[in-house]
Amino acid sequence: MSSNPLRDLFFGPDRRALVTAQVPRRTFSDVVLPPSTRRALDNALVQIRKHDVLFGQWGLGERHESGLGLAFNFAGPPGTGKTICAEAIAHTLGKPLLVVRYNELESQWAGATAKNVAAVFASAAEQDAVLFFDEADAIAGRRFTSVDQGYQREANAVVNVLLRELEDFPGVVIFATNLAANFDPAFERRIRTHILFEQPGPEEREKIWRVQIHHRKTPLAPDVDFGALAERYPASGGDIKNAVLKAAQMAIAEPGTDDEKRIAQHHFETGIQEVLAAKRVMDQSLFTGLMPGLAALSGTDGGVDDEVQALASRLVDVEDAVAALPDALSRREEAQLREAERSRDALAARQTEALDALRGGAAEAARTARLALWVACASAVVAAAGALSVLL
Ligand SMILES: Nc1ncnc2c1ncn2[C@@H]1O[C@H](COP(=O)(O)OP(=O)(O)OP(=O)(O)O)[C@@H](O)[C@H]1O
Ligand SMILES: [Mg+2]
């Protein structure tokens, strides 16, 4: 939506500009999916097609006034085909597709975002369009339990309106998200089916490589081997698309006449390697974004790489130390045991000494006593002898 702040100030935001539906061009033949995802999508299409029978002919619409809509959630990593499949569903149903992104709905005017949400539902109903909310976690995130800031009130109001509109909407709504865990639980209950978009395996990747080129017009060199590319590079459909475009740009930029130019295997190889390297850089910047300490280091010479390496080698040191811990502990226990034995022996020796000393002392005392006794006896004998001699 192109917004004009001055016009908005006087007349309020222009809600008509939010809601232009497009004619879907891509079909299920443009997308290669793992069998389970394909089955889930086929099942979704059956539900959509048989909806009128169930709720019209079978009378369920008369028994249930709300919750008649068909809401689906496409969840999965970026570039796995969620957007193409939304387009393909609209194409199969012969309906226009109304794509909505949160940043297009968000308004700086209090209460206006929620009104924009209501407006897109009204417009989709009017145009009989399939309504597609891209990056839906931004709009259907969990409500705040305590509301003391304006933005929290605003976010809760948006989810409440979304839930109400979803309840009343008679058509097909598709949500797409990379972060389904962020959804508000009440919102999740109103979704009829969650469809998981997984990363493609080697077999699907090979088909995706093929689907990304024009089978007749794109000039390929004879050495091109999509099977080998699929086997070697674990990439998403979005990555493969970008690699094919890069490869084609490289091939066309080479010298010579355009008629002679061909996209060769090395172009595709370089293309996919660059795409995957760029993705790793993005992952790393995400990582530094989450770790403010590391983000600061990324500006220094050597940058994050050096720091990550230093951290990695410290981690190895720590791991070695942890691995050596049981040995160190048993060595320490042994030393403690030996020390305890030494103290015990020293104590025992001192006890023996003390006992000996005690025994020695006792023997001495006994000897002294015996001597005193002997002296006493001798003097008694002498005295007796003296007395006897007097008597005699
Ligand atoms: N399964 C697939 N089969 C064929 N092409 C695919 C597939 N997945 C992705 N692509 C290619 O990658 C492009 C991006 O895919 P798409 O926009 O559908 O991904 P997405 O899942 O919606 O990603 P995001 O979460 O980033 O919005 C498509 O235009 C298509 O060319
Ligand atoms: Mg998408």
pLDDT digits (tens, 9 = 90+) for 312-323: 555 555 555 655
Is residue 289 assigned to a domain? no
Q: Which of 145, 176, 196 is the last residue of a domain?
A: 196
Q: Are residues 233 and 348 in the same domain?
A: no
Whether pLDDT at 78 is above 80 = yes
Q: Are residues 217 and 93 in the same domain?
A: no
Mean pLDDT of the chain: 78
Q: Indicate if ligand 1 lies below 6 Å from the C-beta of 237.
A: yes
Q: Are residues 222 and 185 in the same domain?
A: no
Percentage of residues of the chain with pLDDT beyond 70: 65
Q: Which of 140, 162, 196 is the last residue of a domain?
A: 196
Is residue 337 assigned to a domain? yes
Which residue, 237, 239, 234, is CA-closest to 278? 239
Q: Are residues 15 and 158 in the same domain?
A: yes
Question: Could you tell me if 98 and 123 are in contact, meaning their C-beta atoms sit under 8 angstroms apart?
Answer: yes
Whether pLDDT at 18 is above 60 = no
Ligand closest to Cα of 77 equals 1
Whether pLDDT at 216 is above 80 = yes
Residue found under tokens 């080698």: 313
Is residue 371 assigned to a domain? yes
Q: Indicate if ligand 1 lies below 6 Å from the C-beta of 83.
A: yes
Q: Indicate if ligand 1 lies below 6 Å from the C-beta of 136.
A: no
* Pairing of β 130-134 and β 172-177: parallel
Q: Which of 83, 244, 275 maximizes ligand 1 atoms within 8 Å of its Cβ, making it the mutation to test the pocket?
A: 83
Is residue 288 assigned to a domain? no
Is residue 269 assigned to a domain? yes
Q: Are residues 228 and 332 in the same domain?
A: no
Q: Indicate if ligand 1 lies below 6 Å from the C-beta of 196.
A: no
- Quote the ligand 2 centre to 77 CA distance (angstroms): 9
Higher pLDDT, 211 or 110: 211
Which residue, 221, 263, 260, is CA-closest to 245? 263
Q: Which of 239, 255, 283 is the last residue of a domain?
A: 283
Ligand closest to Cα of 82 equals 1
- Residues 92 and 6: their CA atoms lie apart, in Å, by 41
Q: Are residues 223 and 344 in the same domain?
A: no
Domain hosting 98: range is: 5-196
What is the atom index within ligand 1 of the atom nearest the CA of 86?
A: 18
Whether pLDDT at 261 is above 70 = yes
Whether pLDDT at 124 is above 90 = yes
* CB burial of residue 106 (10 Å; 0-12, 13-18, 19+): middle
What was the pLDDT predicted at 328?
Answer: 64
Q: How far from chain centre, in Å, is Cα 126?
A: 39
Whether pLDDT at 343 is above 70 = no
Q: Are residues 243 and 387 in the same domain?
A: no
Q: Are residues 173 and 103 in the same domain?
A: yes
Q: Are residues 260 and 311 in the same domain?
A: no
Q: Indicate if ligand 1 lies below 6 Å from the C-beta of 177.
A: no
Q: Are residues 129 and 233 in the same domain?
A: no
Whether pLDDT at 59 is above 80 = yes
Q: What mean pLDDT do residues 282-306 have?
A: 49
Q: Are residues 304 and 359 in the same domain?
A: yes
Q: Are residues 135 and 26 in the same domain?
A: yes
Place 298 in a pLDDT band, splitting at 50, 70 and 90.
very low
Task: Count up the domains in the chain and report the number.
Answer: 3
Q: Which of 29, 41, 80 maximizes ligand 1 atoms within 8 Å of its Cβ, making it the mutation to test the pocket?
A: 80
Q: What mean pLDDT do residues 74-79 have?
A: 93
Question: Could you tell me if 69 and 189 are in contact, meaning their C-beta atoms sit under 8 angstroms apart?
Answer: no
Q: Indicate if ligand 1 lies below 6 Å from the C-beta of 238.
A: yes
Q: Whose CA is nearest to atom 9 of ligand 1?
A: 237
